[in-house]
C-alpha cells in the first residue's frame, strides 16, 4: 500500500511538466525526468548529471542536460504514435517507488482502427550509476507492422543553453553514441546505447540515420501482432570522472546488454530494497500521508549523490536546470536531518561538499571584504556564487531588479555550521572534523567574526545589514534567526576546536598553523557571549524578526494581496508591497524556534507561532514544515498535520509556482521532501534528538492508528512503534552503552536487547 | 547697474509661477509672492508667515498661507481688468532689489478702445515686519470711470489645506480685517487693511461686500482720466507672538496709514540701504553675474527671520508651502556662510533655531533607539520630522515609495555641528556655546556615539547604513562625506567642551550634570581618533563615495537616462535606475572636499572632481556650487564660472523642476542663493577663511575686471578689491590685534589703518 504513484489522466502540457517532475527516476548521478519515450525537448525531457555545470556567454550557469538516450518512437504507416497528438484510448504512467521503476502503458488507435499498445519500463540503476535500462514492448490487437525508431536525441531542452558543442553522433560495433563537449570548460560527455531483442526475426531489417543532433536506428516492419519487446541500455559518462567518456560509456553499455534487463533490474531492486528496509515509515490509517511520505523519501534517495562529495542536492533536485541546479541552504537545514538519521554516510558526503567548495566560499568572503568562508547562496561545482545581483525581473518595467540574496543572506554559512554540528551530535562521527568539517566551521566562524560589529553604546555585538530567511525584508539589522544561528556558529567553533585538539591533535595544530586561526579564537569566544540575541530579550513575547519589524505596517495578507496591481509582481525587493509591512515570505523566527527548540518555552513558541503564522505568505516551499514542526510542539495537532501534508504533497499535487514570467521555475522540491520527513518524525511522532539524547512525545493525528519507523542515533539503529496508547523503542543491535531516553518527559533507559514499551495517556 | 529685475513678457501660466518666486518680497517675517494684485489662488498668490505651520488630517504639515491683503482689482463697465484675460498692450513687472520694492505697470485696452494704465508698487516693510505697503494708481487716456475693489482674499492657495477655519471677515473704523484660526493648533491669525487716498472726491462712494472668505470695499465710479492713486497698508499678525492678533493688526494698520506710504518707504529703504552697504559685491565687466549675485543676496535677506530664533529659512524660502516649508541642511551648509561673514547676528539666530528644536531632535533619536540629537531631515516649528517614510510616488504603480531620507540621512546632525563651528571660528563669538550651542554639539556628538559601530576585525569605528547627500544611493556604509563630517563633530565636541569649561565654567558643570555627558567624552575622544575615513585611505586617488561604490555599474549619464521608461521616474529609491550605478544625484565626495578643503591635496581634488563631475546628474540645486567651489581651487576657471552662474541664476531663469506628478515643488532656492555667494566669494574671489585666518587666491574669470566686496572676520570688517593684477584689503575699523593674511601663498600682516595692496602675477 502506498508504494505506487499512478497517473491515468488525459495528458495536457501542464500535466507533462508536473509528471516530468513527479515521476523522476534517478540514482544521485543521473536524474531522468518522468517523460514519455517519444517526447523531446518540447515536453521537457531531461537527463541531468550531477555536478556538471556550464555557462554560455552571460547567461545563467546551469546543469548540463545530456543527450536523451531514452528516445523511442513507434511509427505506423510513417506516422509517429505520440501520446499527445495521436488518438489515445488508454494511458497510464506510473512510478513504483519500492523498486524505483517508471512504467508507461498507452493504447493508441490508428486511423484504420488498429489498437497498438506501448508498454515501457525504465530505471536508473542504483547498482551502476551510469546506466538507465529500459524494456520497451509494442503489441497490436491484430495483424500489424510498425517501424520502431530508437536512439539518442542530442537536441535537448535548455534554459540558458545550448551547452553542448562539437556534437558527434556515431555507431560502432552495434552501439550508437553521441559525444560532445561542454561550452565553458570543454568537458567531454558521451551517451551510448545498446539494444537487445527477444526475437530479431520479427522485423525485416535495421537502418541507421544520424544528423547533427540525433542518432537513430530504425527497426523496419516489426510484426507486433503477438507483441515485440526490445531492451535499451543507455550509459552516461562525463569527463569529470572519465578520461575517455565515449569508450567508457560504450563499454558499460556493452556489459549491461550482456547482463540483460532482468539481472540488472534484480540488483537495482535489491539495492532499493535495502534502502527501504532502513528508512521506510509505515503509517496506518492514512493512505495519503503514507504515500506522500514515501514519495518524499523516494525523491531524496533518487537524487542524493553517493559517488562523490563534489556535488550536493540542488534546490530543484535533478529535475532540470531550474534554479541553476544550485545547492541552497535547503540541503543543510531541510534535507540533512533525513540523511543524518537514516543514511549518515550520505549526510557525510553532502556535508563534505561544503568542504569541497570551501575555497569558493573564501573567495566570496574576500570579494566582499571579509575573512573566512561566506558560502555561495547558490552553489554549483566550484563554490562560486551562481546567484546574480539582479535575480528578479520587475513586472512593471521589465527591468532587472536588484535583490540582496547573494550578498546579504549570510546565514548560509551558519546554516552549514549548524548542519555539521547536528550531524556530529546525532552520529557521534568525530572524524568529520578531521576530514574537513573543522576547517569549514573555523572559516564560517571567522567570516562572522569579520561581519560582526560591536555596539559600544549598548555593549554588545550585533549583526547588521542581512537578509534572513524571509526574503521579502532585505537588508535588516539583527535578524533574530541570523543572530541566533551565528551565535551558535561561534559556540560550535569553540567546541569543535576543543574536540579536534583532543581527538586529532596533529590535525588541530596543522589547521591552526595553516589558517592562523588561534588569534581569532579569543574574539570568537567573546562574541559568542556578547552577541545580541533578539530572541532572548523578552521571554514569552513576540520576538521581533529584526530591528524595527514590529513597527512596520500591520496588515493582513488579504489586504496586502488586494494591493497588487499585477498578478506576478514580486512582493519583496526595492519597492515590494510586503517590504514595508509585517507580512513575511516564509518561516523565519519560527524556524529559529524549531532549530533551537530546547531554548524556548512552550509559551514563547505559542505566542510567536500565532503571531507569525497569520503574517506568513508561504511564498517559499521551505515555510510550511517549520510551521508544522512548531505547531506539533505546542499542541496544535490540526495545524501540524495540515502543514505536514502541504509539505509532503508539494510535488505530488504539483501546486508550486511553475513560471515567473516566461522563466520555468518548476521542478521538484527536495527541501519539501526533507521537510515532510522532519514534520512526520520530529513533529507528529515527536521524536526529538538533541545533544543530550532522545526524547519522544508523540502527537499523532487522531486517524493515524500506528506508525513504525526506524532511525539511527550515534550509530545505533532504533525502531519505533508509536500509537495513541504506547511507545515502543527497540535497539536493533546490542549497544555498548545504555541509551537514556525520555518518553513524555519521563526518563527511561533502553534495554540492551528487546524493546522498551511504555504506555502513554 | 544690476539692481533691477524687469520682466516685460506676455504672461503665461508658467511665467506666473516663475515670477511669483523670482519677484518675491519679504522681510523674514512675511514673504509675499511676486504675483499681481488682481491674482488669486489660481495664480498662486501667497502670504507666508515665518514659523507658522499647520496640518490637516493625514496630509503633509506645511506653512500657513495667510489671507491675501494685497488684493485689488479694477473693473471697467463691470469687467475686471486682468493681466491674463483682458487685452494687455504693455506689461512690465519689476523688482528693485536695492529698495526691495515690487512694481507693476500694465496698460489695458478696453473693448471701446480706452487705454487704462495700472501702476502698483509694494514692499514688505523691513522696519515694521508685519506690514506690507502698497501704492496703487490707475489712469486712462481719456474720460473714463472705473470701479476699484480692494480688500482681503481669504480663499487662499493651499497644497495640503485648507488650514484656516472660523474665517471671519469684518470692518470697523474704516479698517477691514479677516481673522481665522489654524486647523491643528488653533493659532489665531489676522490680516487687516487700511486704505488712504490722494483725493477722495474722485469717486462717487464706497461699498462693502463680504462673504465667508473675502472682504472687499468698492470705490465706485472712480474718475481716472487724470489718474487716481490710493494706498493700502496691510498688517499680518499671528497668535505665535500676539495675544490679540486682530486688535494688533488693526492697530498697526491704523498707525501705518497715519505715517503714510512715503514715510514708510523711506524708513524701509534706509534699512535696506544699510544692509547693502555691508554686503554688496560689485563686479565690473559682467552684468549678468552682478545681477545674479545681487539677486541671490536679495532673496537671502528677504527671508531670513530676524525677529525670532524659533524659525529658520526653509528650503523653498517663503515662496509657498512647497517642501512643507521645512528647514533642511540647506540652511547650515549653503546659506550660513553668507550670513556668518556678512550679518553674523542673523547667522546666530539661524543657529539658535537648532537649539530651539533640540528636544524634537532628541525625540527623533529616541524613536530610532539612539541617544542624543538626531535632527529632523525636514524641520518645522517643533523639530519633529516632517519628512515621511514614503516621500516619493512611484510613477509606474502610482504607489508611495519607501525612501530613506528621514531615517538614514544622519549627516544632518553633523552638518549642524559643522555650521556652529564655522560660525564660531569665523566670528569668535564664544557666547554661542553658552547660549545653546554647546548643548546642541554635545547632543549631536552623543547621537553619533550611539550610531557608530566598532569593527573589531579592522580595529576601527564605522558608520553604517546611512544615506549621504547623494540621495540616489540609499542605505550605504561608510559614506565618505558622512564619516568625515561625523569625525569632525566628535572633534568639535571635544573642543567645545574644553572651550566651555574655560569660558563658562558654571555652564559647563551644569550641562555635564544635566546631560550626564562626562562619561561619554572618553568614548567620543576614541571615536574621533579611530573613526574610519574613506577619504584618507589613499591620497590622490578616487575616494569611494561609500563602501563598494566603485564596483557599481560604471555608465554615462546619457546611457542611464536612455534607460528611463517614464520622463518623471525617480532615479533613486528601491528600484531606481541610478541606485545600482555610479551615477549620483549631487555633489557628495566633492562637497566634503570643499568643506574640509585644507585636508586634501590639490591632486586629490582634481582626480575626484574629474571622476565625479561626469557622474553627477545635478538632480539637486545644492550640487552645482560645490563643483564650482572645487573647480576654482584646482584651476578650472571655466567650470568654476559655469557652475557659479548655474547656481546664481537658478531662480532668475526658473529652470528648476516645477512639478513632480501633480505636486508643485517649484519655489525659490535659497541654498542656491547662498551657494552663489559662496562660489563668488570663496571660489572665484578665492577668499578662504579657516581656523588659522584668511587667505586670498583670486581666480577671477577673465572678463571680470574688478570685484569689490566686504566681509567680517572675527568682528573685523574687511574690504577687498580684487582684479587680475592686485589684491587690496582694508580694515574698516582699527583692529586691536594685527591680522595675518596670506595672498597667493605669501604671508602678510594687515596694517591697522589703510589698505594692504599686493600686486599679483
Q: Is B387 helix (H, G, I), strand (E, B) or coil?
A: coil
Tell me the three cell numbers of residue A207. Answer: 537502418
Distance from C-alpha of B60 to C-alpha of A608, rounded to nearest angstrom = 36
pLDDT digits (tens, 9 = 90+) for A503-525: 999 999 999 999 999 999 999 99
pLDDT digits (tens, 9 = 90+) for A167-188: 999 999 999 999 999 999 999 9
Average pLDDT, chain A: 94
Chain B residues within an 8 Å CB radius of A394: 575
Given an 8 Å threshold on Cβ–Cβ distance, is A575 in contact with B575?
A: yes
Q: What is the mean pLDDT of residues A104-118?
A: 96
Second-level CATH architecture of B4-278: Distorted Sandwich (2.70)
pLDDT band at A343; cut points 50, 70, 90? very high
pLDDT, position B661: 61
Confidence check: pLDDT of B757 > 80: yes
Distance from C-alpha of A224 to C-alpha of A363, rounded to nearest angstrom = 61
DSSP letters spanning B564-595: -SSTT--SSSTT-TTTTBS-BSS-SHHHHHHH
Q: What is the mean pLDDT of residues B184-199?
A: 94
Q: Kindly state the DSSP code that residue B476 receives in the 8-state scheme.
A: B
Distance from C-alpha of B30 to C-alpha of B320, rounded to nearest angstrom = 11
Chain B residues within an 8 Å CB radius of A452: 456
Given an 8 Å threshold on Cβ–Cβ distance, is A449 in contact with B462?
A: no
pLDDT digits (tens, 9 = 90+) for B164-191: 999 999 999 999 999 999 999 999 999 9
DSSP letters spanning A453-518: EEETTTTEEE--SB--S-TTS-SBSS-HHHHHHHHHHHHHHHHHHHHHHHH-HHHHHHHHHHHT-H
pLDDT digits (tens, 9 = 90+) for A195-221: 999 887 888 888 888 887 899 999 999
pLDDT, position A753: 78
B358 forms beta bridges with: none
Confidence check: pLDDT of A735 > 80: no
Percent share of chain B, pLDDT over 90:
88
Nearest CA in chain A to B553: A389
pLDDT band at A535; cut points 50, 70, 90? confident
Nearest CA in chain B to A447: B457
Stated length of chain A: 761
Interface probe with B: pick from A395, A474, A559, A574, most Cβ of B within 10 Å: A574
Residue with cell 536612455: B562
pLDDT digits (tens, 9 = 90+) for B630-654: 999 999 999 999 999 999 999 998 7
The shortest C-alpha distance from B382 to chain A (Å) reads: 23
pLDDT band at B656; cut points 50, 70, 90? low
Is residue B439 annotated as part of the catalytic site, yes or no?
A: no
The bridge status of strand B228-238 relative to strand B131-140 is antiparallel
For chain A, percent helix, then strand, then coil, each to nearest 5? Answer: 35, 25, 40
pLDDT, position B219: 94
Instruction: Report how many Cβ contacts below 8 Å link chain A to chain B.
Output: 77
Residues in B lying within 8 Å of A, measured between beta carbons: 369, 371, 389-390, 394, 396-397, 399, 401-402, 449-450, 452-457, 462, 464-465, 475, 477, 523, 547, 563, 565, 573-577, 579-580
Confidence check: pLDDT of B619 > 90: no
Q: What is the mean pLDDT of residues A575-600?
A: 96
Torsion of CA B634, B639, B644, B645, to 10 degrees: 160
- CA B356 to chain centroid, in Å, comes to 19
pLDDT digits (tens, 9 = 90+) for A612-668: 999 999 988 889 999 999 999 999 999 999 999 999 999 998 766 776 666 778 899
- Contact status, residue B628 vs residue B643, Cβ threshold 8 Å: yes
pLDDT digits (tens, 9 = 90+) for B111-130: 999 999 999 999 999 999 99
Distance from C-alpha of B85 to C-alpha of B88, rounded to nearest angstrom = 8
Torsion of CA A536, A538, A541, A547, to 10 degrees: -70
DSSP letters spanning A6-61: EE-SPP-HHHHHHHHHHT-EE-SSEEE-S--TT--GGGT--EEEEEEEE--TTSPP
Q: What is the number of other CB atoms lying within 10 angstroms of the CB of residue A111?
A: 10
Q: What is the mean pLDDT of residues B260-280?
A: 97
Nearest alpha carbon to residue A457 among B369, B91, B407, B414 = B369
Chain A residues within an 8 Å CB radius of B402: 575, 579-580
Interface probe with A: pick from B364, B370, B403, B456, most Cβ of A within 10 Å: B456
A188 forms beta bridges with: A181
Q: What is the number of other CB atoms lying within 10 angstroms of the CB of residue A531?
A: 23
Q: Where does residue B398 fall: left (phi above 0), alpha (psi -120 to 50 degrees), or beta otherwise?
A: left
Q: Which of B394, B452, B547 sits opposite A575 (nearest CB)?
A: B394
pLDDT, position B538: 66
- A470-506 as b/e, with b when 16 or more CB fall inside 10 Å? bbbbbbbbbbbbbbbbbbbbbbbbebbbebbeeebee
- Contact status, residue B698 vs residue B721, Cβ threshold 8 Å: no
Confidence check: pLDDT of A537 > 80: no
Rg over alpha carbons for chain B, rounded to the nearest Å, is: 27
Q: Which of A456, A573, A579 sits opposite B454 (nearest CB)?
A: A456
The shortest C-alpha distance from B457 to chain A (Å) reads: 5
Given an 8 Å threshold on Cβ–Cβ distance, is A450 in contact with B457?
A: yes
Superfamily (CATH) of domain A4-277:
Glycoside hydrolase, family 65, N-terminal domain (2.70.98.40)
pLDDT digits (tens, 9 = 90+) for B350-376: 999 999 999 999 999 999 999 999 999
Q: Which of A465, A563, A575 sits opposite B465 (nearest CB)?
A: A465
Tell me the three cell numbers of residue B704. Answer: 571680470
Q: What is the mean pLDDT of residues B226-248?
A: 96
pLDDT digits (tens, 9 = 90+) for B286-322: 999 999 999 999 999 999 999 999 999 999 999 999 9
Q: Is B291 helix (H, G, I), strand (E, B) or coil?
A: helix
Confidence check: pLDDT of A701 > 90: yes
Torsion of CA B549, B552, B557, B563, to 10 degrees: -140
Q: What is the number of other CB atoms lying within 10 angstroms of the CB of residue A293?
A: 28
Residues 6+ apart with CB under 8 A from B532: B455, B458, B460, B461, B462, B463, B478, B483
Q: What is the mean pLDDT of residues A451-476?
A: 98
DSSP letters spanning B110-154: -TTS-EEEEEEEEEE-SSSTTEEEEEEEEEESSS-EEEEEEEEE-
Given an 8 Å threshold on Cβ–Cβ distance, is A573 in contact with B575?
A: yes
Domain segments of chain B: what residues? 4-278, 280-684, 706-759
Interface probe with A: pick from B401, B452, B453, B576, most Cβ of A within 10 Å: B453
pLDDT, position A117: 97
Q: Which of B397, B453, B465 sits opposite A396 (nearest CB)?
A: B397
Q: Which of A389, A464, A565 sits opposite B397 (nearest CB)?
A: A565
Q: Kindly state the DSSP code that residue B466 receives in the 8-state scheme.
A: B
Q: Which of B475, B575, B580 sits opposite A475 (nearest CB)?
A: B475
Q: Which of B454, B456, B573 sits opposite A574 (nearest CB)?
A: B573
Nearest alpha carbon to residue B685 among B602, B752, B587, B760 = B760
Confidence check: pLDDT of B451 > 80: yes
pLDDT digits (tens, 9 = 90+) for A34-58: 999 999 999 999 999 999 999 999 9
pLDDT digits (tens, 9 = 90+) for A65-84: 999 999 999 999 999 999 99
pLDDT band at B739; cut points 50, 70, 90? confident
Average pLDDT, chain B: 94
Q: Kindly state the DSSP code that residue B598 receives in the 8-state scheme.
A: G
Range from A713-722, A746-755, B670-679 carrying the lowest mean pLDDT: A746-755
Distance from C-alpha of B610 to C-alpha of B173, rounded to nearest angstrom = 68
pLDDT, position A538: 66
Tell me the three cell numbers of residue A57. Answer: 556567454
pLDDT, position A15: 86
pLDDT, position B752: 79
pLDDT band at B503; cut points 50, 70, 90? very high
> CB-hemisphere CA count at 13 Å for B668?
33
Distance from C-alpha of B564 to C-alpha of B317, rounded to nearest angstrom = 32
Burial class (CB in 10 A: 0-12, 13-18, 19+), B163: buried
Given an 8 Å threshold on Cβ–Cβ distance, is A453 in contact with B453?
A: yes
Residues in A lying within 8 Å of B, measured between beta carbons: 369, 371, 389-390, 394, 396-397, 399, 401-402, 449-450, 452-457, 462, 464-465, 475, 477, 523, 547, 563, 565, 573-576, 579-580
CATH of B280-684, one of 3.30.70.3270, 1.10.1740.10, 1.50.10.10, 1.20.58.220: 1.50.10.10
The shortest C-alpha distance from A185 to chain B (Å) reads: 27
The shortest C-alpha distance from B540 to chain A (Å) reads: 22
Q: Is B100 helix (H, G, I), strand (E, B) or coil?
A: coil
- CA A587 to chain centroid, in Å, comes to 19
- Contact status, residue B597 vs residue B688, Cβ threshold 8 Å: yes
Which CA distances in Å does B248 have to B192, B216, B236, B310?
9, 20, 9, 21
The shortest C-alpha distance from A126 to chain B (Å) reads: 47
pLDDT, position A661: 61
The shortest C-alpha distance from A270 to chain B (Å) reads: 55
Amino acid at each position: 500500500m502506498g508504494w505506487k504513484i499512478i497517473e491515468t489522466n488525459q495528458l495536457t502540457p501542464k500535466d507533462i511538466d508536473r509528471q516530468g517532475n513527479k515521476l523522476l527516476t534517478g540514482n544521485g548521478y543521473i536524474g531522468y525526468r518522468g517523460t514519455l519515450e517519444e517526447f523531446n525537448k518540447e515536453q521537457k525531457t531531461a537527463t541531468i548529471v550531477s555536478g556538471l555545470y556550464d555557462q554560455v556567454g552571460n547567461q545563467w550557469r546551469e546543469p548540463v542536460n545530456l543527450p536523451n538516450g531514452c528516445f523511442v518512437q513507434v511509427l505506423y504507416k510513417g506516422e509517429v504514435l505520440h501520446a499527445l497528438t495521436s488518438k489515445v484510448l488508454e494511458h497510464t504512467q506510473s512510478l513504483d517507488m519500492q523498486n524505483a521503476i517508471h512504467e508507461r502503458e498507452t493504447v493508441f488507435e490508428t486511423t484504420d482502427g488498429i489498437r497498438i499498445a506501448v508498454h515501457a519500463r525504465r530505471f536508473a540503476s542504483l547498482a551502476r550509476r551510469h546506466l538507465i535500462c529500459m524494456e520497451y514492448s509494442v503489441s497490436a490487437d491484430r495483424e500489424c507492422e510498425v517501424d520502431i525508431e530508437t536512439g539518442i536525441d542530442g537536441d535537448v531542452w535548455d534554459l540558458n543553453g545550448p551547452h553542448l558543442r562539437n556534437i558527434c553522433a556515431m555507431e560502432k560495433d552495434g552501439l550508437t553514441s553521441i559525444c560532445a563537449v561542454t561550452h565553458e570548460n570543454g568537458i567531454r560527455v558521451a551517451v551510448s546505447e545498446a539494444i537487445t531483442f527477444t526475437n530479431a526475426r520479427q522485423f525485416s531489417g535495421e537502418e541507421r540515420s544520424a544528423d547533427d543532433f540525433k542518432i537513430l536506428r530504425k527497426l523496419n516492419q516489426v510484426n507486433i501482432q503477438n507483441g515485440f519487446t526490445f531492451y535499451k541500455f543507455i550509459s552516461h559518462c562525463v569527463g569529470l570522472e572519465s578520461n575517455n567518456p565515449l569508450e567508457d560509456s560504450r563499454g558499460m553499455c556493452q556489459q549491461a546488454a550482456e547482463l540483460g534487463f532482468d539481472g540488472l533490474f534484480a540488483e537495482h531492486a535489491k539495492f532499493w530494497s535495502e534502502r527501504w528496509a532502513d528508512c521506510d515509515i509505515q503509517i496506518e490509517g492514512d493512505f495519503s500521508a503514507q504515500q506522500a511520505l514515501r514519495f518524499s523519501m523516494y525523491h531524496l534517495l533518487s537524487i542524493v549523490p553517493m559517488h562523490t562529495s563534489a556535488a550536493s542536492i540542488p534546490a530543484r533536485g535533478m529535475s532540470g536546470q531550474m534554479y541553476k541546479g544550485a545547492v541552497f541552504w535547503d540541503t543543510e537545514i531541510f534535507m540533512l536531518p533525513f540523511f543524518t538519521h537514516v543514511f549518515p554516510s550520505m549526510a557525510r558526503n553532502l556535508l563534505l561538499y561544503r568542504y569541497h567548495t570551501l575555497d569558493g566560499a573564501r573567495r566570496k568572503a574576500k570579494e566582499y571584504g571579509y575573512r573566512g568562508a561566506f558560502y555561495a547562496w547558490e552553489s554549483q561545482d566550484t563554490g562560486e556564487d551562481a546567484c546574480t545581483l539582479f535575480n528578479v525581473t520587475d513586472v512593471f518595467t521589465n527591468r532587472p531588479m536588484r535583490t540582496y540574496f547573494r550578498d546579504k543572506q549570510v546565514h548560509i554559512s551558519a546554516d552549514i555550521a549548524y548542519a555539521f554540528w547536528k550531524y556530529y551530535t546525532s552520529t557521534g562521527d568525530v572524524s568529520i572534523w578531521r576530514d574537513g568539517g573543522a576547517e569549514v566551521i573555523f572559516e564560517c566562524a571567522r567570516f562572522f567574526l569579520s561581519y560582526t560589529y560591536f555596539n559600544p553604546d549598548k555593549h554588545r555585538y550585533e549583526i547588521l545589514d542581512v537578509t534572513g530567511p524571509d526574503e521579502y525584508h532585505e537588508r535588516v539589522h539583527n535578524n533574530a534567526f541570523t543572530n541566533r544561528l551565528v551565535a551558535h556558529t561561534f559556540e560550535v567553533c569553540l567546541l569543535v576546536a576543543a574536540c579536534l585538539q583532543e581527538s586529532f591533535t596533529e590535525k588541530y595544530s596543522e589547521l591552526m598553523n595553516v589558517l592562523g586561526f588561534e588569534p581569532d579564537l579569543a574574539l570568537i569566544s567573546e562574541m559568542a557571549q556578547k552577541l545580541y540575541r533578539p530572541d532572548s530579550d523578552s521571554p514569552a513575547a513576540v520576538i521581533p524578526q529584526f530591528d524595527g519589524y514590529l513597527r512596520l505596517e500591520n496588515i493582513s495578507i488579504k489586504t496586502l494581496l488586494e494591493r497588487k496591481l499585477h498578478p506576478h509582481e514580486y512582493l519583496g525587493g526595492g519597492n515590494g508591497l510586503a517590504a514595508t509591512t509585517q507580512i513575511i515570505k516564509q518561516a523565519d523566527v519560527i524556524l529559529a524556534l524549531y532549530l533551537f527548540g530546547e531554548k524556548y518555552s512552550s509559551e514563547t513558541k505559542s505566542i510567536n507561532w500565532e503571531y507569525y503564522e497569520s503574517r506568513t505568505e508561504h511564498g517559499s516551499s521551505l515555510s510550511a514544515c517549520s510551521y508544522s514542526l512548531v505547531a506539533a510542539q505546542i499542541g496544535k495537532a490540526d495545524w501540524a498535520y495540515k502543514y505536514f501534508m502541504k509539505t509532503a504533497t508539494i510535488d505530488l499535487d504539483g501546486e508550486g509556482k511553475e513560471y515567473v514570467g516566461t522563466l520555468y521555475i518548476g521542478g521538484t522540491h527536495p527541501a519539501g521532501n526533507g521537510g515532510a520527513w522532519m514534520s512526520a518524525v520530529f513533529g507528529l511522532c515527536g521524536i526529538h534528538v538533541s545533544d543530550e539524547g532522545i526524547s519522544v512525545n508523540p502527537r499523532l493525528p487522531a486517524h493515524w492508528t500506528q506508525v513504525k519507523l526506524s532511525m539511527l542515533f550515534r550509530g545505533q539503529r532504533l525502531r519505533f512503534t508509536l500509537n495513541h496508547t504506547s511507545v515502543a523503542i527497540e535497539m536493533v543491535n546490542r549497544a555498548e552503552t545504555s541509551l537514556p531516553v525520555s518518553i513524555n518527559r519521563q526518563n527511561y533507559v533502553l534495554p540492551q536487547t528487546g524493546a522498551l514499551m511504555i504506555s502513554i495517556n
